[in-house]
Chains A and B, each alone.
Chain A
């Protein structure tokens, strides 16, 4: 075989000899190009059909609220808002819960055995398929929300947030189930961030007389904050793309409403419901909505990855 350089270590850049490409190297190169090409191909197959809609509606697509297939008039604002709001509420619920669980798993309040059980349970929650969450939502969460939502609507109905009748299939139901779906993501990444905090910081804090929780709130969490933020952003990305469970629970309504107890719609659900029979301008409009979803999730994921990488670098050097 050729020279002895190129055995992997990127930091041995002295005397970088270029290898003559052999078949294996070409194969691996092709595989890498294929990976990138696949993404470009996917993007192209969304943008091309979306083009007529983009030309016709431009950015007004995202400010118009009427989605009327019958009259060929398309506006994606309700779905955009639905996607964003359901994901945000899911995060609002999952973030504190996830961080607390991560704290539980990284501190030793209870013996290791108990911690391992909880960790296992959280990982199991991550493994459950989306459809099963939808079915569980229908069987368990909808009746709960109908009843509990009824009380909310009766007593707090004057607030626009809880106004209107409490349907079982509503924004609230979908957000609750979404929260449980993204909980494992937040927990896992936050736990990694918390465990990565150098022990010297902890010990220093205890040395000056802080209690366990004072240490957690004033030292650990600020240090692990970038990691926790990254976890939140990635969970947000996951929640936005979630299709099956949400479509089964959210009611698929193309109308804007302030109330959490009313049905709503998401971009992913819109695509899942209407794609099969769409043609002409409707198909174009759906592709446009798909493009919006892709771009949204892309940005969110990029941001999450960037913050995560910065977080790893920040705590890498301290011993």
Chain B
């Protein structure tokens, strides 16, 4: 009896002590949303809290869909989404929404073919792969753009997202724009039914699938491909050129985006221009127009300001595209409307 009494006391003490270890910081910010920008947001958090230790920020990459949901249900201080928010979703948020394009990136088609380093995919090829029409790597459509490269006679394993994803949204938007067959068969959205392939959770899940399966190809954000040393294909853009994803080609695509006057929301689904990489997108931070807590809104505004200004210098290192100056100006304007 004595030992069990002692062990109960010990357990109770341990639990209480563990509670006190999670020190109550002055301000706690919770954010949730897309996995696409998660790496750079985490870096912003690490750098920002170094200079501002009284703020604790926590960001969870749960997918754009879940981010929007939690944001609407008032469970977080800010959300994040590659698919921004639809008018219907914005209407559902009582406090009003301010969309802030925080950073941008390219979506690359990373692949795992041993021995093939510089794969070129024409529009017909990559649309055909993802709609399920092209099933082997040595298909003539793929071979046409890759003269002299020995493509294996093995099946293509398409890797896609199993959860609701802004990355899926942007990618399917682009595919629907370039291929009527894809638009018809699959359509665009944060969660679509792909005709073929395996699915994983999050950008990191798809990255893992590509690494695990020989002959796999999947769509991930550029930073994930770069950090995991995956090869990715050069894609043919509208002008017919084969472009790889670089900061410059991504920036060229972003420059073609026209924002509507009152809302910072647009996607360059199929950019013209010789140097444009075909699949690049902004990704948004979702802030309430009106916050209830003055301390939180202060912290949120300061953090987002940091990200939009100093934070941009981490973009290239982590595989994102720094925001063009005009866009930064517009976002800082929009940030002022948050109260």
Indicate if A touches B (C-beta under 8 A): yes
A279 touches B189 (CB 8 A): no
- Contact-size category for B: 35 or more
Residues of B within 8 A of A263 (CB): 197-199
Residues of B within 8 A of A67 (CB): 193
Instruction: Give the complex CA separation of A254 and B186 in angstroms.
Output: 14
Instruction: Give the complex CA separation of A298 and B272 in angstroms.
Output: 58
B157 touches A70 (CB 8 A): no
B268 part of interface (Cβ distance < 8 Å): no
B63 touches A169 (CB 8 A): no
Expressed in whole angstroms, the minimum distance between the Cβ of A106 and any Cβ of chain B is 34
Instruction: Give the complex CA separation of A276 and B62 in angstroms.
Output: 7
Residues of A within 8 A of B162 (CB): 252, 269, 273-274
A149-175 contacts to B (CB < 8 Å): 164-165, 167-169
A177 part of interface (Cβ distance < 8 Å): no
Instruction: Give the complex CA separation of A143 and B63 in angstroms.
Output: 28
Instruction: Give the complex CA separation of A142 and B209 in angstroms.
Output: 10
Instruction: Give the complex CA separation of A273 and B215 in angstroms.
Output: 24
0/1 string, B195-236, CB within 8 A of A gives 1: 111111100000011001111000000000000000000000
Residues of B within 8 A of A279 (CB): 69
Instruction: Give the complex CA separation of A169 and B193 in angstroms.
Output: 18
A278 touches B164 (CB 8 A): yes
**Total A-B contacts with CB atoms under 8 angstroms apart:** 92
Expressed in whole angstroms, the minimum distance between the Cβ of B112 and any Cβ of chain A is 10
B124-173 contacts to A (CB < 8 Å): 154-155, 157, 162-164
Instruction: Give the complex CA separation of A256 and B254 in angstroms.
Output: 40
Instruction: Give the complex CA separation of A196 and B208 in angstroms.
Output: 47
Instruction: Give the complex CA separation of A68 and B212 in angstroms.
Output: 26
Partner of B212, one of A169, A273, A274: A169
Expressed in whole angstroms, the minimum distance between the Cβ of B265 and any Cβ of chain A is 19
Residues of B within 8 A of A142 (CB): 212-213
Ranked nearest first, the 5 interchain pairs of A and B with the lowest CB-CB distance are A277-B65, A165-B155, A277-B164, A276-B66, A251-B198
Chain A interface residues toward B at CB < 8 A: 66-71, 138, 142-143, 146, 164-165, 167-169, 247, 251-255, 263, 269, 272-274, 276-279, 282
Q: Can you sample 8 A-B contacts with CB below 8 Å? A: A143-B212, A167-B157, A168-B157, A168-B212, A263-B198, A263-B199, A274-B162, A278-B164
